[in-house]
């Protein structure tokens, strides 16, 4: 084959690739324009259930749909073109809902709006002195308690003040301490299976109440939690297995390098 023929073949192949890519780009652009001009037809919602949910969902599909539609300029889906939707802004607005951790919104060529919702993961249920009742999520957000949803998490009671809005982030020192302890418990299977209540005394001391053993675990503050829980676990394994789980009324790790027990 001559050098001229070889060059022509290379040129032809290159030109064919160029034309193919150009056609593909044009088709893609046309498909995009068609999708953008399509009118929204319906909403498909997928909910990811929290792993700690005991009964029902913290938010249902109907509530998500209504919340979404209320964010639209005309508060209706009728006559809305896909291209007129600011999907990123709508995701941000959905994520202001206290039950929603993350929202992903996308559309298809048929005009269906797909909304994938990841619900918040509750760590602890809080009952305050003001008789407000809410969950604290993994991110420290407040989730209002409702009758259609319950979670298998510890309950925090006692001298807990809360003067903020229900949907705010936990900001008071005691709520932050409760959140830190609940988060630690959630990450360690032994404690997650055994702790059912967190109580706060008038002086701020925090005590844990196990599900089975009839004793209280005094932490004091939420400082140095790994050290305190490690001491408790060692005491459980080395001492309580010898003397019995019902010998003591209180087991305190409030003070560093000490375990102080009060017998019944």
Which stretches within the chain are classed as H helix? 3-37, 61-70, 87-94, 173-187, 189-194, 225-235, 241-243
| Residue-wise pLDDT tens digits, 124-147 | 999 998 888 899 988 888 888 876
- Reported confidence tier of residue 246, pLDDT bands at 50, 70, 90: confident
Decide if 133 contacts 126 (C-beta within 8 A).
yes
Q: What does the DSSP 8-state code read for residue 169?
A: B
Taking the C-alpha atoms of residue 16 and residue 174, their distance in angstroms, rounded to an integer, is: 69
What is the reported pLDDT for 9?
57
Task: Tell me the torsion sign for CA atoms 125, 127, 130, 133.
Answer: positive
Residue whose token pair is 């302890």: 181
| Residue-wise pLDDT tens digits, 3-50 | 545 555 565 555 556 555 555 554 455 444 444 457 777 889 998 876
Which stretches within 188-247 are classed as H helix? 189-194, 225-235, 241-243
Residue whose token pair is 């290159």: 14
What is the reported pLDDT for 45?
92
What is the reported pLDDT for 34?
44
Choose among 193, 162, 197: nearest CA to 181.
197
pTM value surpassing 0.85: no
- DSSP per residue over 44-93, as a string? EEEEE--TTEEES-SS-HHHHHHHHHHTSTTSS-TT-BGGG--HHHHHHH
Q: Quick one: average pLDDT of 233-248?
A: 84
233 pLDDT above the threshold of 80: yes
Tokens of 128: 């305050």
254 pLDDT above the threshold of 80: yes
């Amino acid at each position: 084959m001559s050098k001229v023929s070889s060059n022509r073949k290379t040129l032809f192949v290159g030109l064919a690739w160029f034309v193919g890519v150009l056609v593909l780009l044009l088709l893609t652009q046309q498909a995009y324009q068609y999708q953008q001009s399509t009118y929204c037809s319906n909403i498909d919602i997928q909910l990811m259930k929290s792993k700690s949910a005991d009964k029902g969902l913290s938010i249902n599909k109907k509530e998500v749909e209504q919340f979404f539609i209320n964010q639209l300029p005309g508060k209706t889906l009728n006559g809305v073109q896909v291209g007129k939707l600011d999907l990123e802004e709508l995701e941000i607005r959905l994520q202001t809902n206290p039950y929603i951790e993350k929202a992903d919104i996308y559309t298809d060529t048929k005009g269906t709006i797909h909304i994938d919702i990841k619900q918040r993961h509750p760590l602890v249920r809080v009952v305050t002195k003001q008789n407000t009742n809410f969950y604290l999520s993994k991110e420290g957000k407040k989730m209002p308690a409702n009758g259609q949803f319950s979670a298998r998490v510890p309950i925090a009671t006692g001298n807990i003040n809360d003067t903020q809005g229900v949907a705010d982030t936990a900001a008071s020192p005691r709520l932050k301490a409760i959140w830190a302890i609940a988060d630690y418990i959630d990450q360690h299977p032994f404690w997650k299976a055994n702790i059912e209540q967190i109580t706060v005394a008038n002086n701020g001391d925090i005590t844990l109440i196990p599900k089975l053993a009839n004793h209280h675990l005094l932490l004091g503050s939420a400082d140095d939690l790994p050290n305190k829980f490690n001491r408790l676990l060692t005491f459980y394994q080395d001492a309580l297995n010898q003397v019995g789980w019902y010998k003591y009324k209180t087991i305190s790790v409030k003070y560093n390098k000490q375990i102080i027990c009060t017998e019944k």
